[in-house]
Amino acid sequence: AKTGSSNEDISLFVVPTQSDGINQTLLKTIASDRQSEVVFDNVKVPASALLGTENKGWETIKKVMQWGAIGKCAEMSGGGQQVLDMTVDYAKQRTQFGRPIGSFQAIQHHCANMATDVEGSKFITYQAAWRLSEGLPADREVAMAKAWVSDAYRRVCALGHQSHGAIGFTKEHNMQLYSRRAKASEIMFGDTDFHLENVAEIIGL
């Protein structure tokens, strides 16, 4: 909540979910995950509910956002690995023109590009997570990781769909689940544009 005259004067409070004036609405999301809209209508909390220092909430929010972004990067990297594994297995089993589709150069290149994006996602995530865990400055690394991994995961899913063909778009196949979650993950804790702007500012532009 804003607790001072400046826009930077933000304070954090612990508010019980059953407090009067709080309304929660479960949302239907593209990722089929549990998210809710929370509306606060004249909610009253005691001074003891203050979390941290008054008017210094932004620093805590920034740290939470950074850890959340890196956690999401790890999740996306794992999702990308699973999509790659599914696609390679499918390419070995699915036959067309009397041979496995994995023997065709186009599919091979798709899988190679997917593997490159997955490995790049892992390493850029490891670097940012290490700096955060060691208490080192990590603004640039976190922004780079979230921007890169969001785009890489989307590319991996797109190539996975191209390799699977129509079966990948059916609800009976897991491919569509990863694609939907890739889109949702892309905008969580700041989308690609948000983090690229942060990187540009950090490098002096």
Asked if residue 5 is part of any domain, the answer here is: no
- Band (124; pLDDT cuts 50, 70, 90): very high
**Residue 39: phi, psi to the nearest 5?**
-115, 130
Asked if residue 4 is part of any domain, the answer here is: no
The pLDDT score that the predictor gives to residue 29 is 87
Asked if residue 3 is part of any domain, the answer here is: no
Q: For the chain, how many structural domains are there in total?
A: 2
**Do 46 and 78 reside in the same domain of the chain?**
no
Structure tokens given for 193: 């544009």
**Do 42 and 66 reside in the same domain of the chain?**
no
Q: Per residue in 10-47, is it b (16+ CB within 10 Å) or e — as a string?
A: bbbbebeeeeeeeeeeeeeeebeeeeeeeeeeeeeeee
Supply the range of the domain harboring residue 147: 58-202
Q: What is the pLDDT of residues 68-102, one digit of tens each?
A: 999 999 999 999 999 999 999 999 999 999 999 99
Q: What percentage of the chain reaches a pLDDT higher than 90? A: 83
Rounded Cα distance, 15 and 12, in Å: 9
**Do 46 and 106 reside in the same domain of the chain?**
no
**Do 20 and 73 reside in the same domain of the chain?**
no
Asked if residue 74 is part of any domain, the answer here is: yes
pTM: predicted TM-score of the whole model, two decimal places: 0.88
Q: What is the pLDDT of residues 137-188, one digit of tens each?
A: 999 999 999 999 999 999 999 999 999 999 999 999 999 999 999 999 999 9
Asked if residue 131 is part of any domain, the answer here is: yes
Rounded Cα distance, 88 and 85, in Å: 5
